[in-house]
Amino acid sequence: MILVTGGAGFIGANFVLDWLAVHDEPVLNLDKLTYAGNLETLASLQGDARHVFVQGDIGDGALVADLLATHRPRAVINFAAESHVDRSIHGAEDFIQTNIVGTFRLLEAVRAHWGGLPEADKAGFRFLHVSTDEVYGSLAPDAPAFTETHGFEPNSPYSASKAASDHLVRAWHHTHGLPVLTTNCSNNYGPFHFPEKLIPLMIVNALAGKALPVYGDGMQVRDWLYVKDHCSAIRRVLEAGAVGETYNVGGWNEKPNIEIVHTICALLDELRPRADGASYTAQITHVKDRPGHDRRYAIDARKLEAALGWKPAETFESGIRKTVQWYLDHPDWVAHVQSGAYRQWVQAQYGAPVAA
């Protein structure tokens, strides 16, 4: 069995679904079910004995210790995190508590469990920590992409809290010998993405006839990684990654945000044309840029390819088409995650439009 934390969130749930599609090894899924955690994403696993769900917090050391003692997983994959930059700007404390304090308490519970295992089980145990490229800071337009040796220069409360968690994982390996692995990924997109992030927000707003809010000039560049490619990379790192190592996971798809929005509009024009015949690009609205908005991220994933033979299966063109089609095919899922609290938050965050 493996223990997955944050397994009802976007990336975690995709990982659980993909894992059980290719493995019979059971998953113990621990998730706090905050606003972005959604059990409806895992509805297809209802009644599947290979999936054991527990609602709880990684910061609850006693609960984690009990789960480890009862289920004796051979690995822990830690997805649990507060992950939205905008929310971290307006309310950093949740990020400090989950991403830093929670990771610390999880590490301590895992260390105690690991220390008591028989030697053979101890040698095979792994703690895989899933992190972000945002810990590296912002790149100049012509700067080389982030490698695993790039210094940490986080610029938001979110990225600072993730950088701290990465440092804790490293320290628990070097100080206590805990067999850890760390992955730092670029921007994920794909099915089951909570519609506060760029790609699902654009799809959902476009279909609803709402404005498509683009921060500033829209020229912020990100490397885009299809979530199922990310899941396959994590499986590969868990399988064969060298203990103590960090692996960057990227999609080799650097694109400015405004290009992403235009691509989504073009796909929707093709797949679900507006009733009035106009392009969805008519709904694009530039809004005031957020504070400290990083201009460019880019991942150099050559280490992962060279060491473990992994590279993404999807191009951006194939992945974004699958993503848009998924949202068109699953309106009920979208409607159910868009609570009144979510709508109020979007309004407060993006506010009134400004001139481009």
Tens digit of pLDDT per residue, the chain (356 long)? 999 999 999 999 999 999 999 999 999 999 998 877 788 899 899 999 999 999 999 999 999 999 999 999 999 999 999 876 767 788 898 899 999 999 999 999 999 999 999 999 999 999 999 999 999 999 999 999 999 999 999 999 899 999 999 999 999 999 999 999 999 999 999 999 988 789 999 999 999 999 999 999 999 999 999 999 999 999 999 999 999 999 999 999 999 999 999 999 999 999 999 999 999 999 999 999 878 788 999 999 999 999 999 999 999 999 999 999 999 999 988 888 776 454 454 456 444 443 33
| 133 classed as catalytic | yes
Q: Which domain, by its residues, includes 127?
A: 2-190+227-252+297-313
Is 211 within the bounds of a domain? no
Enumerate the β-bridge partners of residue 285.
Answer: 213
Is 333 within the bounds of a domain? no
The answer to whether residues 166 and 185 touch, using CB atoms and an 8 Å cutoff, is no
Which is nearest to 89 in space by CA: 291, 295, 351? 291
- Pairwise CA distance, residues 318 & 239, whole Å: 27
The answer to whether residues 238 and 75 touch, using CB atoms and an 8 Å cutoff, is yes
Selecting among 31, 82, 86, 134, the annotated active-site residue is 134
Is 324 within the bounds of a domain? no
Q: Pinpoint the alpha helices (H) of the chain.
A: 10-22, 61-71, 85-90, 93-95, 103-115, 119-124, 157-176, 198-207, 227-240, 257-271, 302-308, 316-329, 331-337, 340-350
Selecting among 136, 158, 226, 297, the annotated active-site residue is 158
Which amino acid is located at 245 in the chain?
A: E
- Pairwise CA distance, residues 47 & 200, whole Å: 29
Which is nearest to 130 in space by CA: 201, 184, 193, 207? 184
CATH number, residue 91: 3.40.50.720
Pairing of strands 221-226, 254-256: antiparallel
Count of domains in the chain? 1
Quote the tokens at residue 241.
Answer: 């990654």
Its pTM stands at 0.92
Is 160 within the bounds of a domain? yes
Is 101 within the bounds of a domain? yes
The answer to whether residues 241 and 264 touch, using CB atoms and an 8 Å cutoff, is no
| 136 classed as catalytic | no
Selecting among 57, 133, 229, 254, the annotated active-site residue is 133
| 317 classed as catalytic | no
Is 257 within the bounds of a domain? no
Is 164 within the bounds of a domain? yes
- Pairwise CA distance, residues 52 & 45, whole Å: 9
Pairing of strands 51-55, 75-78: unpaired
CA atoms within 13 A on the CB side of 190: 25
Is 287 within the bounds of a domain? no
